[in-house]
Amino acid sequence: MASEPEHRYQLRDLEEALQKSPADLAAFLSDTHPADVAEWLEELEDDDARRVLGALPVELQAEVLSFTDDWRVGELLTLIEVPQLVEIVEELPADEVVDLLARTEDAKSEEVLRQVDLERAKGLRELLAYDEESAGGVMTTDFVTVPLDISVGDAIKEIRSEEGPASEEEVGVFVVDKAGRPVGFVSDRDLITTPIHTPIEEVMEKDLIVSKAGDDQEEAAHQLAKYNLSALPVVDETGVLIGVISAEDAHEVLQDEVEEDLYRLVGTSIEDPTRVSVLHRVRHRLPLLALTMCGGLVTASILYFALGSTGSSGSGRTADILRFLPIIIALAGNVGVQSSTILVRGFATGEISPDRGAAVVWAEVLTGLVIGGICGAATMIAAAYMEGGGLSGLQFGASVGVAIVVAVTWASFLGCTVPTLCQRWGIDPAIVAGPFLITLSDISGSAIFVTVAALMAVTTAH
C-alpha cells in the first residue's frame, strides 16, 4: 500500500527473495514485520507459502500465523506437519491455539493435543469445549492472578515468576479471593507507579464488571467497550475466574459484528467476501435472491389479477412486459448493492489493494452473470407459464429471462465500477454505494428490459 512508510518491503520484494537461496530468503524475512509476512501469505501460492513458513524460526511462524486472516490460516494449516504444529502451539497464548486447532482437521488437532504438555492440553481441551460465539470461546486462560493479601511488590514478583507464552495483550493482573473469585484489577501502570509496600487491596479497582463463560461474546464485548475496560474477567457458574477477554479481542468481536451486519444486510457472504470463489459467492447469495425472485413473481401475479379486475382496459403486450419490471429491478438492485458493498469495505479495510482490484471486479461481474443466468432461466419458465405457454409465451418468457441476465450482470458491473471511480476521484465510495447505485441500476435495468423486449420482438417477427 502506498500509505505505508517507504522502508517497508512489498510483496514483490518477497517474490524476488523467493528466487534466491534459502539463507537469503531467511535473511529477508527476519528483516520484515510478521504482519507483512502474514499479508503476503494471503497472496502467495501454497508452494511458496510453505517455503516462506519453512524459512522462519518457529516463534516467528507462530507470530505470522497469529497475524494471518482466518480463511488463510485454515489453508496454511494443511501445509504444516504435526511436529511443527506442536512447536507452534507451544509459542502461542491459549486463545490463539484454540483458534488454530478449531481450523485444523479433528484427527490432526487430536494428534497435536496428545503431544503437548499434559496440563496445557487439559486447559486447551476445556477452552475448545466452549461455543466459539460465547465469552468462553474468545477468552484466554493465559493470564496472571494474585491473591488479595499481598503487596504491590509481591504482585510484581508474581508476574516475574510466571512462565509460558507471554501475551502482548496483558496490561494488568486480576486479584482473586481464596476461592478464586475475581475481586479486583490492577493495571501494570499502577503497579509501576505505586510504592511497593502498598497492599494490593489499596491500589486495585474494586468495582469489577464480570462476564460468564456462557454469555454471548458480543454481549461481553459490549460490556468491555461500555465500561472502557482493559480486560474483562470471565467466570464459571460458581463465580471462579477462569479466563480473561483482552480489549483487543473484544474490539475484534465488535468490529466483526458490525461488518457481519453490513454484509447480512445486503445478503452476501459474511466472511472474506473479496477472497472467496465465484461459486461460494453464488451459493451464499442465491437463497435470498431466490426469495427476491419469488417476491417479484408474486408482485407480477398481484398486478395481473388486480389490474385485470379493476375494470381498466385489457392488458396488452406493454402491460404484460411491465408486470415483470419489478422482478428485474429488484434482482439487479440487490446484486448491484452486493458488489458495491464488497468494493466499499474492501477499499476501506485496504483488503483490495491496487493489484487486486481487477481480480475482485472480475469475480463480482462473473458472479452477477451466473446469478443472472440462474434467476433469468427460472423467471423465463415462470413468465412463459404465466403468459399461457405456447410459442408466444416462450418468446415472452425469453425476453424477460434475457433482460434479467443482462440487467443483473450490468448491475454488478456498475456496483464495481462506480465505487472504484469514486475511490480514484477521492469521493467516499460509501456515499454512492447504496441509494445512488440502486437508482442507476433501476434506470438502466428498465432501459435494458425495454431494449431486449423490443429487439426480441423484432427478431422473432422476421
Applying the rule CB under 8 A, the residues between 3 and 62 that interact with a copy of itself are: 3-5, 33, 35, 39
Between 88 and 112, CB nearer to a copy of itself: 88
The dihedral formed by the CA atoms of 442, 443, 449 and 455, expressed in degrees to the nearest 10: -160
Closest CA to 209 of 199, 196, 219, 198: 219
φ, ψ for residue 325, nearest 5 deg:
-65, -45
What are the residues facing 175 on neighbouring strands? 146, 184
| Residue 154 within binding range of a copy of itself, rule CB under 8 A | no
Between 381 and 443, CB nearer to a copy of itself: 443
CA angle 363, 367, 372 (to 5 degrees): 150
Contact region with a copy of itself (CB under 8 A), list: 116-124, 325-333, 352-360, 374-382: 325-333
Q: How far is the CB of 128 from a copy of itself (least distance, A)?
A: 23
| Residue 303 within binding range of a copy of itself, rule CB under 8 A | yes
Contact region with a copy of itself (CB under 8 A), list: 107-115, 126-134, 167-175, 386-394: 167-175
| Residue 209 within binding range of a copy of itself, rule CB under 8 A | yes
Between 116 and 191, CB nearer to a copy of itself: 191
| Residue 71 within binding range of a copy of itself, rule CB under 8 A | no
Q: How many CB atoms lie within 10 A of CB 266?
A: 21
Contact region with a copy of itself (CB under 8 A), list: 75-83, 131-139, 309-317, 374-382: 309-317
Between 102 and 144, CB nearer to a copy of itself: 144
Q: How far apart, in Å, do the first and last CA atoms of the chain sit? A: 56
Between 238 and 309, CB nearer to a copy of itself: 309
Total site size for a copy of itself, rule CB under 8 A: 107
Among residues 237, 314, 459, 462, the one that binds a copy of itself under rule CB under 8 A:
314
- Rounded Cα distance, 257 and 332, in Å: 27
- Rounded Cα distance, 93 and 62, in Å: 10
Contact region with a copy of itself (CB under 8 A), list: 42-50, 77-85, 211-219, 400-408: 211-219
- Rounded Cα distance, 108 and 83, in Å: 10
Within its chain, how far is the Cα of 459 from the centroid?
A: 47
φ, ψ for residue 359, nearest 5 deg:
-65, -40
| Residue 462 within binding range of a copy of itself, rule CB under 8 A | no
Q: Is the dihedral of CA 251, 167, 50, 44 positive or negative?
A: positive
Within its chain, how far is the Cα of 277 from the centroid?
A: 14
- Rounded Cα distance, 200 and 152, in Å: 5
Which residues within the stretch 432-461 sit at the binding site for a copy of itself (CB under 8 A)? 433-436, 438-440, 442-443, 446-447, 450-451, 453-454, 457
| Residue 78 within binding range of a copy of itself, rule CB under 8 A | no
Which residues within the stretch 217-276 sit at the binding site for a copy of itself (CB under 8 A)? 218-219, 222-223, 226-228, 230, 247-248, 251, 254-255, 257-262, 264-267
| Residue 196 within binding range of a copy of itself, rule CB under 8 A | no
- Rounded Cα distance, 235 and 238, in Å: 8
| Residue 313 within binding range of a copy of itself, rule CB under 8 A | yes
**Cell numbers at 37, concatenated:** 509476512
